[in-house]
Each structure stands twice: as C-alpha cells, then as structure tokens.
Amino acid sequence: MSEGIRAYIGLGSNLDDPRAQLDQAVAALGRIPGCQIQRVSSYYHSLPMGPQDQPDYLNAVAVLLTTLSAEALLDALQLIEQQQGRIRERHWGPRTLDLDLLLYGEQVIDSERLQVPHAGLFQRNFVLYPLQELEPEMVFPCGEKMKEIISGCSKEGLERLDNQ
C-alpha cells in the first residue's frame, strides 16, 4: 500500500496477560483490510489513569497507513477490542484491551462518535512518550510541536520496556 492516511493508534491493557493482549492486538491491526502497520513503539509500563484499585497498564502506539475512513477504522478497532474480550464496566476501569484512534492524518474530527485528535492526548504520558518514539518531529493538527508538548509532560510512573 503506497497511498493512504497515517493513523496513530494507542494500545493499552491491564488484564489477562497485557503483553500478550498487545501482541495479539498488533497482529490484528495488521490484518485489517485497507491497513498496513508502519511501526509500533516500545511497550511502556504505566500507572492506571483512573481508579487506582486496578493493575498497572502496558501501553504502546502503532502507526498505520490506511485507506479506511476514520469511522470505518474506529469500527475495526472496536471489533478487535470485542474479539479480545473487552467489557466496558466503568469509566477508566480495567480492561483487556483499549484501542484509541489518536490521530488520523492532519484531520480534526469532532463528531458524536469520534474526536480526533483524541481527547486528553496532550495530558497522557503513556501516549505521548510512545508517540514521540515514533515521531520525534511531529507537528500536531493544532500546530503544536511534539518537542513543545513533551517538554511539559512528566515521565512519572512510566517505564519503557523491551518488547522482546
């Protein structure tokens, strides 16, 4: 696939062997028709963002080249979550897999179903550091530069892991 839109996907898991969950999700991303994985960041160990009565998370970011619309890609991501046993019990609660459409090309999307860039993107070190690993010179759709955003983002509670 030589043409398409670059889409950045946030991956997270804190249940049922998170490393295996992320590995399976990366493989599933590569099987989405109209999508090709370009790169995947290292995995990062992070503290839960919401309630602290849950296990720590494993997070990563993948970049895809896709010919799918943003909504069709969101549908594919939600199907992968379901196939890996995602149950939505509480906001920011534990999960087998969370796949978030972080960025979709240079587009800004604000619909009832989808917000891109992803809401809270700039406040989440478990997204920004893996994203910086992939795109250190990124300029976000709002015009902000990765270097500026990351300089104000703490690494507290975040540890980069070897994916092996």
Enzyme catalytic residues: 86, 95, 98, 100
Between CA 63 and CA 25 the distance in angstroms is: 13
CA atoms within 13 A on the CB side of 76: 22
Closest CA to 12 of 111, 80, 113, 70: 80
Q: Tokens 């946030």 map to which residue?
A: 10
Cα distances (Å, whole numbers) of residue 25 to 46, 50, 60, 81, 135? 18, 22, 11, 8, 21
Bond prior to 117 in cis (omega within 30° of 0): yes
